[in-house]
Structure 1
């Protein structure tokens, strides 16, 4: 229950955007990096909006007693905006902000991030812009170079359920679920390279067995020795039937 001086609020279910809960980020170059998250509070959650308004009013009263030295600013800046309107710079809010109250809470120190059962979330991919959860916010007065207003300090964050990712984030199922799987190509081993012949050698030719026709005699016993190319066949010597000696062109018997 909120007391008269309460400046701390735990929201109902809200949607988270611009989530920087594990790595600090600087809004402008040269600024100190901080952990931060933008909280989208549905306008239907009237109870959370009333508690935030009461906490901001309490922070203003605290500022008068402390940092503003007893003087209440005519129009102190407050951290909550109408998502159906425009940003402080005049630009329109994104479509995800329609129908919501918008505020950004930040902290110099990293805050706890837990799931619905209050278990710490270790896998950082489970925490993203677009999910739904609850956020603890501390409202405080500030006086910075003449700028006076109420800031929103970030406390612990609880994830309640998943939501449509914001900022182009897609799941693996959305990315690959409908994509055809490329066909597998059959592997063909490379052909073995042929070795070139050594110097002075002729390339080896495959041996071809000689073909023999049916009934052709196989070379072997009883056949004359093959003649070498270029030689003239020699006639068998003539023998004298009386003397038994070869005839050398003379008269038989002499």
Structure 2
């Protein structure tokens, strides 16, 4: 049986001209990128992902944390944008569709979308942990290792750290301001694949709703955001977004 968008959801997509899509880990799950809730595999099955993604873990064992992020980078490099990523790029041909993502992968960009803000940084933007100097692209190794010494900074001798926002760190100001500006200019906000438990990103749908901007959640599961949005569609990104984009175009 063909899947149809709920009537009110389809109508909102059809008439929206300035769309903000807030994406979380569920957006990339159908590309084979594991979420933080998924069990680790291989070398990493004994580790808790949330424990590795902290300044404390980095300070205690940077070789371990760097190796884990190199493994994650390699996994993303092997992944491909799914139908949901591609649908958002298609939607942007008929409307101003701006992506605000909590994901640290580059699948939106590879699908052809305009990413306004990577709120939690990027796997592919390492920087010095001492002076903040950006590093050139560092290709992950062909074979994963449990410990890999990070490259050293030519300027100060510090270590290259992953260019992501760890638990306990503040969001970079510039991406956050871009996200707020996008929400302020939107006439529709679509929230896809995010559990709504990580703030301040999880507060964006409520800000939109308070400003009178209609909000839609696309997620197969009930989340902490479900009661903060106007419309709910229980489906996945790869199934729902192509239909929504077709309604809009």
Report the TM-score range of the alignment, normalised by the length of the smaller protein: under 0.3
Question: What's the TM-score, normalizing by structure 1?
Answer: 0.21
Query: Which structure carries more strand by proportion?
Result: 1
Question: What's the TM-score, normalizing by structure 2?
Answer: 0.21
Query: Which structure carries more helix by proportion?
Result: 2
- Relative contact order, higher structure (CA 8 A, sep 6+): 2
Based on CA coordinates, which of the two structures has the bigger radius of gyration?
A: 1
